[in-house]
Homo-oligomer: A and B are copies of this chain.
Amino acid sequence: MSSGKDLDAVLEQLEKEGVPLHRFVERVGNKNLAVLLRRRFLERKLGVSLSSVGSTIIDFEEVEGRNIENAIGATQIPLAVVGPLRVEGEYARGDFYVPMATTEGALVAGVNRGAKAITLSGGARCRVVRDGMTRAPLFRLPSVADAVEFVRWVETSFSEIKKAAESTTRFGKLVRVEPYIMGNLVWLRFVYTTGDAMGMNMATIATDAACRYILEKYPGSVTLVALSGNMCVDKKPAHINALLGRGKTVIAEALIPSHVLEKVFRARAEDIHRVNVEKNLLGSSYAGSLSFNAHFANIIAAIFIATGQDVAQVVESSMGWTSTEVRDSGSLYIAVTLPSLEVGTVGGGTQLPTQREALSIMGVAGSGNPPGTNARKLAEIIAATVLAGELNLLAALARNELASAHAKARRGELAASRRG
């Protein structure tokens, strides 16, 4: 649109006026140009080259102000697929390829090996057992008696509060409000179904409206301390989400026959079970962990990046348990339980070009029919992929255990066990 020289002239003018970077858009009237100018500004000021960052297909007319501010270009992360992975869920049924964006070598290969074993064993059976996005504003009352009174009023006013909350959203439905009292403080944990959106923004806007209704109508004295009082709880590891769920609570399981364990991993069910008990259960408990698994986070992070999820939510989305049993004839029952997987197929970063394509690989781009089914399908596929990752890593470690007897390094195991 303009030559380097022209750009520099514009930039010099902006600098002379002391226009901060976030005001560039309003000054030059074009978001893509503003991105270019900011990049140029940094290159000149810092003496660096940002040409790779500038090589992007993102149209900032669409994105600046919606997904980001002060943009200067894009980050590119390698994208791969694992699969085919057979999934037998309620929403996802069939063989899937799962996109993972990562920079960690050996991760995709390992998950792929797990996927192979699961698929050979008939697939991962999945269930979404809870679904609800939360937001928990915090109120302060004059006294505990007032707090009790306030909670009672909220309970009896539920239908009006629900109406106020839902007035802000087409898909969000307020399911319940959980009250928690401490001294004279009250947290109200609002729980919503949110269609195919991950729903945090939807829940926040609806809860804001609900709070305004409450503050206006409640006959007594009450103060809103914060629209989020950290009992939601968003982007922090917390037991409340493990116990009560946030987003989707999803479980994936598989029964792996001994011959598949032998063929794919050269491992035995009892050894895998033992590693799970001693590492994932005893080890995690000794570490004071809220997560009793080997490396859920690796798989969650890679799929979240690939599909435009809110990556900071890897924190709680990756919490969960791996549980195992040795069953008849040396087969291994293995399950992963993800109590608070927060995913969507619309909104946020899911609209971006590469992210949307990644979703399309799994057949979950955009809204489902009925709404909510795409997000749940995605949740089931993710859980199945996490199962593949856990199975592979535990099997690699179990094999390692035997190997250790004759103290021989095996590079493949090492790479596999690097994670988790």
6 A–B pairs (Cβ distance < 8 Å), ordered by A: A74-B101, A74-B354, A204-B417, A235-B420, A298-B312, A305-B311
Does A407 lie at the interface of the complex (its beta carbon under 8 Å from any beta carbon of B)? Answer: yes
Cα–Cα, bound, A318→B336 (Å): 24
- Nearest to A204 among chain B residues (CB) is B418
Of B107, B181, B289, the contact of A238 (CB 8 Å cutoff): B289
Of B181, B204, B290, B349, the contact of A77 (CB 8 Å cutoff): B349
Counted per complex, copies of this chain come to 4
Which 5 A-B pairs have CB atoms at the shortest separation, nearest pair first? A103-B349, A183-B335, A239-B288, A230-B283, A237-B237
Does A118 lie at the interface of the complex (its beta carbon under 8 Å from any beta carbon of B)? Answer: no
Also in contact, A240 and B287, with CB within 8 A (given A108-B70, A226-B278, A417-B228): yes
Does A377 lie at the interface of the complex (its beta carbon under 8 Å from any beta carbon of B)? Answer: no
8 A Cβ contacts from A293-307 to B: 293-298, 300-302, 305-306
Cα–Cα, bound, A60→B55 (Å): 16
B314 adjacent to A311 (CB under 8 Å): yes
A301 adjacent to B279 (CB under 8 Å): no
Chain B residues closer than 8 Å to A11, beta-carbon distance: none
Does A78 lie at the interface of the complex (its beta carbon under 8 Å from any beta carbon of B)? Answer: yes
Does A36 lie at the interface of the complex (its beta carbon under 8 Å from any beta carbon of B)? Answer: no
Does A93 lie at the interface of the complex (its beta carbon under 8 Å from any beta carbon of B)? Answer: no
A350 smallest CB distance to B (angstroms): 8
A229 adjacent to B285 (CB under 8 Å): no
B418 adjacent to A185 (CB under 8 Å): no
